[in-house]
Structure 1
Amino acid sequence: MSDILVDVHNLKKHFVHGRNWRGQPTGVQRAVDGVHFHIRRGETFGLVGESGSGKSTVGRCLLRLYDYTDGEVTFAGQPLGGLSEKALKPFRRRIQSIFQDPYSSLNPNLNVLELISEPMKIHGMGDAGERKDRIADLLEKVGLHRDHLYRYPHEFSGGQRQRISIARALSVRPEFIVCDEPISALDVSVQAQVVNMLEDLQGEFGLTYLFIAHDLSMVRHISDRIGVMYGGRLVEVANSDELYENPQHPYTRALLSSILETDPAKVAERIRPDGFTTIRNDKQAAPLEEISPGHFVAFDYK
């Protein structure tokens, strides 16, 4: 069995803005424009970049919440493009998500038991008693309690709601989880707790993560490899430590220079990305070039 669980090849997602009287598009936004990467089993692949760079769009394409414009996403050797909803159903169980907002992603009219059991019912997992026992066990694993089963989302803090979302994602025993900025809406004091919990759950259940985030220091902590996105394109991919210690692409250097440093002796000059990384939307994306084992960079965006 290949150790590559998710393989993304030349992924593109373009959004049409308006059409003329002939039905032809009057404008196209290339949100993702020729992205290549893979994720190994048991690995955490971090995806970073500024707002609007296409990170979340990539995640939604992997979940098949968006039908992508071109390219292919392969999961465990099976291409996902073009599959009907019926054919996708088995993959819906194996691929789960944790979203950014832990309140809007939970139905306020359902209690915790109903929220977490809903995907289990859809996939025909166990009877009511078995589902309740599994949910109670999952709540313990994410730091909640059995007596939370009959409470509603508004009765929890933001961090607790995100723990409920994590338990819901785990309920159907997935292999791969897309974590779409799962800590950005949480207090700083809670973020580290959630990230450490995700690491523990990964080891216990053998999970694979795509971890999308703005917090560069947190991404370094949890990720094995990191991809840097800019303007809908992947400009650099490397192992976590190597990327932070030896960034090659000018945009990566600019992004890392934005990290807030608390030690005045270590404060470096802020690099502004203006000018040297301007990407024209009509320019053909170039493939990443390997500059050292496992370190890939695209330099054609100057």
Structure 2
Amino acid sequence: MSDNKILVDVNNLKKHFSKGKDIWGRNTSVLKAVDGVSFQIRQGETFGLVGESGSGKSTVGRCLLRLYDYTDGEVSFDGQPLSKLGEKQLKPFRRRIQSIFQDPYSSLNPSLSVLDLISEPMKIHGIHEGDERIEAVAALLDKVGLKREHLYRFPHEFSGGQRQRISIARALSVKPEFVVCDEPISALDVSVQAQVVNMLEDLQSEFGLTYLFVAHDLSMVRHISDRIGVMYGGRLVEVAGSDELYENPIHPYTKALLSSILETDPKRANQRIILDGYSAEYGRAETSTLQEVSPGHYVAYDFTE
């Protein structure tokens, strides 16, 4: 993995939202949803992004997709900065960068059949025509565990897990290189979650995909990710290899987050850590720099109260 090229490079990314304006149209307060995040994703790997609700992880994903314009910083894909590109210039990158969202029902147009939903991106990017396009869609359905007979059905006729499989097939329809998985299993039944994650791993291996995997389920993130970044308050506080992060967490927020994982074995049950606020060493500051504490393991140490 270390020999693979850097596909996604996020450098000091910031996304601030206005919470209100005065009578002159000036911002009266600002929500710093993402506030100086930097990381890289190598081709073929899965980078997991975890944190509590409101930590900014989904906003990072939407910035990578250019669904949001950045307040500051830059996202480069395959060496190309994306912030200055207009919609026409972005179109080739839209094909190479796809997404899978949390709620498969709201992300699928209920008035379109499965065939239309999956073939729509093909039409936009000029991939296949006529019967060839239908066969391509049928082949994608087979890849995600659905059948040809589902081509002419509509989203409401499927279960949540099946709808998410349709969303995955749609994302793969234009043969992307990078997929932002924004909590793709959190709306699914527990019995289905593992099936979908295993399928994503199989598809990654078959098509050489690179993933950003945003999720709440910490145990599932460990299973699918090569490296994991932990977000708190719009910032990355720790980045490490999957096993290293879970076995040797350093930042107190990471330790508290991992202590919330539910253990089914009472003998291995975690002692829940409740944070009342960071010490002077780890408190919140205007800037935060990740420092390497061991090979591939980075921690934010310059937080101050």
| TM > 0.5 | yes
Aligned equivalents of 1:62, 1:14: Cα separation in 2: 15
CA–CA distance in structure 2, aligned partners of residues 272 and 128 of structure 1: 58
What is the identity, as a one-letter code, of the residue corresponding to 1:261?
Answer: E
Farther off after superposition, 123-132 or 237-246: 123-132
* Residue among 8, 28, 31 paired with 1:29: 31
After superposition, the C-alpha distances for 1:115-165 in whole angstroms (9 at most, x for unaligned) are 001011000111121111110000001000000000000000000000000
Equivalent residues of 1:231, 1:279 under 8 A apart: no
For residue 166 of structure 1, give the secondary structure of its aligned residue in structure 2: helix
Which string of whole-angstrom CA distances, capped at 9 and with x for unpartnered residues, describes residues 222-246 of structure 1?
Answer: 0000000000000000000000000
Contact in 2 for aligned 1:142/1:163 (Cα 8 Å): yes
The CA deviation at 1:279 is 5.8
For 2:184, give the aligned amino acid: P
Aligned-residue Cα RMSD (Å) equals 1.3
Q: Secondary structure at the match of 2:28?
A: coil
Alpha-carbon distance in 1 for matches of 2:236, 2:39: 9
Q: 2:158 aligns with which of 156, 176, 191?
A: 156
Q: Secondary structure at the match of 2:270?
A: coil
Structure 2 counterpart SS, 1:22: coil
Q: Give the aligned partner of residue 216 of structure 2.
A: 214
Structure 1 window deviating more from structure 2 (181-190 vs 15-24): it is 15-24
For normalisation by structure 2, the TM-score amounts to 0.96
1:46-85 superposed matches below 5 A: 46-85=48-87
How far apart, CA to CA, are the structure 2 residues paired with 1:67 and 1:16?
13
Counterparts of 1:274 and 1:166 in 2: how far apart (Å)?
A: 40
Report 1:210-249 matches (<5 A). Answer: 210-249=212-251
How far the C-alpha of 1:292 sits from its partner, in A, is 0.4
Distance 2:153 2:236 in 1: 42
Alignment of structure 1 residues 1-302 onto 2, 5 Å: 3-276=5-278, 280=284, 283-301=285-303
* Contact 2:277/2:283 (8 A) holds in 1: no
Q: 2:196 aligns to what SS in structure 1?
A: helix
Unaligned runs of 5+ in 2: none
- After TM superposition, the score normalised by the length of structure 1 is 0.97
Which deviations, in whole Å up to 9, do the C-alpha atoms of 1:167-206 show, x marking residues without a partner? 0000000000000000000000000000000000000000
Name the stretch that deviates more: 14-23 or 162-171. 14-23
Q: Report the secondary structure of 1:202's partner residue.
A: helix
The letter of the residue matching 1:150 is Y
AA aligned opposite 2:81:
P
Contact 2:226/2:241 (8 A) holds in 1? yes
Deviations 1:54-87 (Å, cap 9, x if unpaired)?
0000000000000010000000000001210000
Distance 1:21 1:268 in 2: 52
4+ runs deviating over 4 angstroms: 277-280
Consecutive unaligned residues in structure 1, runs of 5 or more: none
2: CA distance between counterparts of 1:275 and 1:4? 36
Give the aligned residue type for 1:110: L
Greater mean alpha carbon deviation, residues 21-30 or residues 149-158: 21-30
> What amino acid sits opposite 1:241 in the alignment?
D
Task: Give the Cα–Cα distance (whole angstroms) in 1 for the partners of residues 81 and 213 of structure 2.
Answer: 21
Please state whether the residue corresponding to 1:27 is helix, strand or coil.
strand
* Equivalent residues of 2:290, 2:298 under 8 A apart: yes
Letter of the aligned partner of 1:42 in structure 2?
A: G
Query: Does structure 1 retain, via aligned residues, the 8 Å contact 2:238–2:299?
Result: yes
Structure 2: how far apart are the matches of 1:288 and 1:107? Answer: 41
